[in-house]
Amino acid sequence: MEWPELPEEVVLYGIHYPIRLVRDLSASDHRYGETNYYRHEISIDAALPLAVKWATLCHEVLHVIDGALTLGLKEDTVRRLDSGIFEFLSQLGIGGSHGNC
């Protein structure tokens, strides 16, 4: 099964986070996504393959969860967790395998 298009927004802890596709985010900032906690929005580089956009969304959602629950996760831990969540979604048949990234 192919990855579906990204949702237009996610709701986490009662806060709506629109998902914006941004041109050249990775080229200018050397990252695939970012979360703006003041405007409550998640930005993802529009040029990425769809599977990588989903992996990036998993990553950014984990940052929101980390902040909301004050877990104090390090970036490396968030990266490992996003890989696990992405794999879990793949196994549910939501998208392709992790190797498609």
CATH number reported for the structural domain that contains residue 30 in this entry: 1.10.10
0.85 surpassed by pTM: yes
Q: What pLDDT is recorded for position 28?
A: 67
Number of domains making up the chain? 1
Q: What pLDDT is recorded for position 73?
A: 97
Low-confidence ranges of the chain (pLDDT < 50): 98-101
Q: What pLDDT is recorded for position 1?
A: 65
Helix (H) or strand (E) holding 34: strand 33-36
Q: Is residue 29 part of a domain?
A: yes
Tell me the residue range of the domain where 43 lies: 9-100
